[in-house]
Amino acid sequence: MFDVLILGAGAAGLTCARECAARGRRTLALDHAGVPGAKIRISGGGKCNFTNTGASARDYVCSNPHFVKSALSQYTPWDFVDFMQRHGLPVRDMGRGMLFSDKAKAVAEALYRDALAMGAEFALNIAIRSAKMENGVFRVDTDRGAFSGRSLVLAVGGPAWPQAGASSLGCTLAERFGLRCLETRPGLVPLVAGQDLAPLCRELTGVSLPVRIAPPHSAEGALLFTHHGVSGPAVLDASLAWREGRTLSIDLAPDVDVVEAMGKSPRMEVRNALAGLLPKRLAGWLCTRGGWEGPVAGLSRKQLTALEAALHSFEFTPRGTAGYSKAEVTLGGVDTDHFSSKTMEAKQIPGLYCVGELLDVTGRLGGYNLQWAWSSGYAAGRWA
Ligand code: FDA
């Protein structure tokens, strides 16, 4: 009999295992992967953006906007910086609060080593079949037999990026315990162009530019045209608020007074003058679509106003997202209403905990999701 069974040895599960074991709890973490922390290893393209020093409740999408506050204050970004320093892992500050490690794999391995050193046990390459509570004890059935524990922590993440072992087991198990799962969908995901803009995206594949996306999708940063639509940090962030049928209003030249900028080159062809503000191929495409030909001085006031509007509120109506296989995170998940925000324990089922991405908590791009995994895993680890 274990004190704590943790399902999933990812970012949240590893942190939770370390904390439980450090409290002297006999802890077993189970995972179907052969190595723990698969997503940490691939995060940030191998250069894990492990936290954001500005992380606060407003950086998360959750049906209860206050839910993340307690866990974030119990285990802060600076606690993880301490962890990095203790393990001699260099920290790179990339601005806007984003802290990176050049060695994502080393971060995962340090977490694993710490948990083992504290005495946590791991059952890897194991298939979890079911989990239930019997006479006040949790029982997990696997392809290697049954395990019992006084507490059970669900830390199996969500279905985003199945290539790294993600699955929808978490909601299936949670629902069997009578917990509600809010509809899940891909988040931090590229958006696929509709028929109208698909040719443009194909033609501009690889071109990127700084943009600002208007509310309610509010995001800022680079937009990258791809073969199927748009991606890049601004688009990934905007995808968190995007819903089917909605149109993004994209400012292709943030903070630029287009009329004034164009007025500086009255004799220049409009498309060439515009190429001073935008990637050349995009400038050419906009001019063809808007019918803005000839020298800048030949444009009427009305045409200039239309040109300005086309640049500052370019409309993009996605046909959909690129799906879970291209999504960094899962939106939705187990409803936080069922849990204490301080301990992550289910209010109606003592001993049952839920942490990380499996919960209906999704961070913006920039290190917020891993911070949530560390913080929620830590909070549960203090009580489970
Ligand atoms: P996580 O997915 O880490 O762990 C879940 C564990 O459960 C895994 O070990 C998995 O194998 C296991 N599991 C799942 N199903 C199972 C089953 N059926 N049976 C047994 N075990 C099962 N975030 C960030 O802040 N900065 C970044 O740079 C990045 N970069 C990034 C890149 C890419 C490509 C992706 C896909 C994601 C990111 N993220 C990120 C997001 C971040 O990786 C993610 O939010 C956290 O890893 C979530 O931590 P969890 O522990 O909740 O789930």
Q: Does the predicted TM-score (pTM) go above 0.90?
A: yes
Instruction: Tell me how far CA of residue 143 lies from CA of 17, 126, 130, 146, 147, in angstroms.
Output: 22, 7, 10, 8, 11
Ligand 1 lined by 31 (C-beta under 6 Å): yes
Q: Are residues 172 and 267 in the same domain?
A: no
- Ligand 1 centroid to Cα of residue 156, in Å, is 8
Q: Are residues 278 and 308 in the same domain?
A: yes
Those residues with Cβ within 8 angstroms of residue 291's Cβ, 6 or more apart along the chain or in another chain: none
Q: Are residues 177 and 277 in the same domain?
A: no
Ligand 1 lined by 21 (C-beta under 6 Å): no
ipTM (interface pTM): 0.99
Examine the fold and report which residue of 304, 321, 338 is the final residue of a domain before the chain moves on.
321
Q: Are residues 182 and 225 in the same domain?
A: no
Instruction: Identify the three-state secondary structure at position 68.
Output: coil
User: How many whole angstroms separate alpha carbon 62 and alpha carbon 333?
Assistant: 10
Ligand 1 lined by 223 (C-beta under 6 Å): no
Q: Are residues 39 and 173 in the same domain?
A: yes
Among protein residues, the one whose CA lies closest to atom 15 of ligand 1:
167
Query: What CATH number is associated with residue 38?
Result: 3.50.50.60
Instruction: Tell me how far CA of residue 155 lies from CA of 20, 29, 32, 191, 204, in angstroms.
Output: 14, 9, 12, 28, 40
Query: What CATH number is associated with residue 279?
Result: 2.40.30.10
Q: Which stretches does DSSP call E strand in 108-240?
A: 121-123, 128-134, 137-142, 145-154, 181-187, 191-193, 208-213, 219-225, 229-231
Q: Are residues 270 and 355 in the same domain?
A: no
Ligand 1 pocket test, candidate residues 369, 374, 378, most atoms within 8 A of CB? 369
Q: Are residues 310 and 339 in the same domain?
A: no
**Number of Cβ atoms within 10 Å of the Cβ of 198:** 15
Q: Are residues 27 and 114 in the same domain?
A: yes
Q: Are residues 281 and 176 in the same domain?
A: no
Structural domain containing residue 53: 2-186+329-381
Ligand 1 lined by 32 (C-beta under 6 Å): yes
Examine the fold and report which residue of 279, 301, 321 is the final residue of a domain before the chain moves on.
321
What's the token pair of residue 152? 């059970």
Among protein residues, the one whose CA lies closest to atom 30 of ligand 1:
43
**Number of domains composing the chain:** 2
**Per-residue pLDDT for the chain (384 aa), expressed as one digit of tens each?**
999 999 999 999 999 999 999 999 999 999 999 999 999 999 988 999 999 999 999 999 999 999 999 999 999 999 999 999 999 999 999 999 999 999 999 999 999 999 999 999 999 999 999 999 999 999 999 999 999 999 999 999 999 999 999 999 999 999 999 999 999 999 999 999 999 999 999 999 999 999 999 999 999 999 999 999 999 999 999 999 999 999 999 999 999 999 899 888 899 999 999 999 999 999 999 999 999 999 999 999 899 999 999 999 999 999 999 999 999 999 999 999 999 999 999 999 999 999 999 999 999 999 999 999 999 999 999 999
Ligand 1 pocket test, candidate residues 43, 72, 84, 354, most atoms within 8 A of CB? 43
What's the token pair of residue 120? 């946590």
Q: Are residues 41 and 179 in the same domain?
A: yes
